[in-house]
Amino acid sequence: MSRIPDVFIDGQPATPDDLTHVALVNYGAYTSFRVEQGGARGLDLHLARLEAEAVELFGKPVGETRLRDLMREAAAGRDSCWLRVSLFSPEISPRTPDWRGRPRVMIAVSPSPPPLADSVRLQVQTHARDAPHLKHVATFGLIRARRLARAAGFDDAVFVDVEGKVSEGSLWNIGFIAGDDVVWPQAPMLAGVAQALVQRGLGPVGLTGRVEPVHVQDLRRFDAAFICNSATPACAVAAIGDLAFAPARGLIERLGAAWASNPAQPI
């Protein structure tokens, strides 16, 4: 069994009352990332995500200084750890949805998870997350999608709309490679931090990146595909449905190097 994370709310150990509300009301948002030696890659993007989510979902920002202070306190004394920084309000529930104000900040601290996999086989599913631009806590659809994919003999699910346009996956963004070009799907989706870090580092590894619509019926034009999230900088896609991709270890290594070229930013 994995270790139970340490959980803090506004800098104090979480109380049973706080955790009861979080367990019963899944209105909120979060971001998660690895902390190493007091810093994190893409911290500016994680902070911007949290502030935008706070304003959209609750009405007021938390404030970058406060977020940094709470993150430092949670990670204190650890050389490496994983932070999940969540926003919620005990004032909001299905019967009382109208409250506006600065949300509370819950931080769970745990050991860094391993990458999702070395390669994955993806089932195509017609699905779209609610408010896909937000990294929100309503994860029922994502977990169900992964369960259905695994029950069908796949590792995970990639989402498309009713016209077959690719968006994202259950826990990750997806990219496609044609020659030396990385193509990111253009669709309603979460703009991932790992995706942005890979994009930032493409030039030094001899790759370029662009965004354009990608339809599942056109996937044969790509040489390779990969998934990425904060725990998995680049993981090869072995197949999408019945379409297999040739092994592309060299490309995956270059994508990993692109991600790693982004230095950790001090919290």
Angle at which helices 193-200 and 43-58 pack, to 10 degrees?
140
Give 240-250 pLDDT, tens digit per residue: 999 999 888 89
- Taking the C-alpha atoms of residue 142 and residue 264, their distance in angstroms, rounded to an integer, is 29
Convert the pLDDT of each residue in 211-226 to its tens digit. Answer: 999 999 999 999 999 9
Spans of all domains in the chain: 6-110, 119-266
Name residues whose C-beta falls within 8 Å of residue 123's C-beta, 6 or more positions apart in sequence: 148, 149, 152, 154, 156, 157, 158, 241
pLDDT at 4: 81
Span 6-110: which CATH code?
A: 3.30.470.10
What are the tens digits of pLDDT across the range 185-210? 999 999 999 999 999 999 999 999 99
Collapsed DSSP state (helix, strand, coil) of residue 203 = helix
Mean pLDDT of the chain: 96
C-alpha closest to that of 47 among 59, 31, 34: 31
What are the helix (H) ranges across 91-209? 140-151, 193-200
Q: What is the pTM of this model?
A: 0.95
Q: What is the pLDDT of residue 118?
A: 92
- The per-residue pLDDT for 1 is 40
Mapping DSSP to helix (H, G, I), strand (E, B) and coil, where does residue 214 land?
coil
Confidence category of residue 237, pLDDT binned at 50, 70, 90: very high
pLDDT tens figures, 135-194: 999 999 999 999 999 999 999 999 999 999 999 999 999 999 999 999 999 999 999 999
pLDDT of residue 179: 94
Q: Is the pLDDT of residue 227 over 70?
A: yes
Distance CA 219, CA 63 (A): 42
Query: Residue 115 has which token pair?
Result: 């990458």
Q: Which two tokens stand for residue 229?
A: 């999230």
Q: How far is CA 111 from CA 11, 13, 41, 142, in A?
A: 19, 18, 17, 23
Query: Once rounded to an integer, what is the mean pLDDT over residues 74-83?
Result: 96
Contact (CB, 8 A) for 87 and 105? yes
**So what's the pLDDT on residue 51?**
98
Give the whole-angstrom CA distance, residue 31 versus residue 195.
Answer: 14
- Does the domain made of 119-266 have the CATH classification 3.20.10.10? yes
Residue with tokens 């994502």: 142
Angstrom distance (rounded) from CA 205 to CA 17: 50
Tell me the C-alpha distance between 104 and 94, whole Å: 18
- On the question of pLDDT at 2 being above 60, the answer is no
- What is the per-residue pLDDT for 247? 87
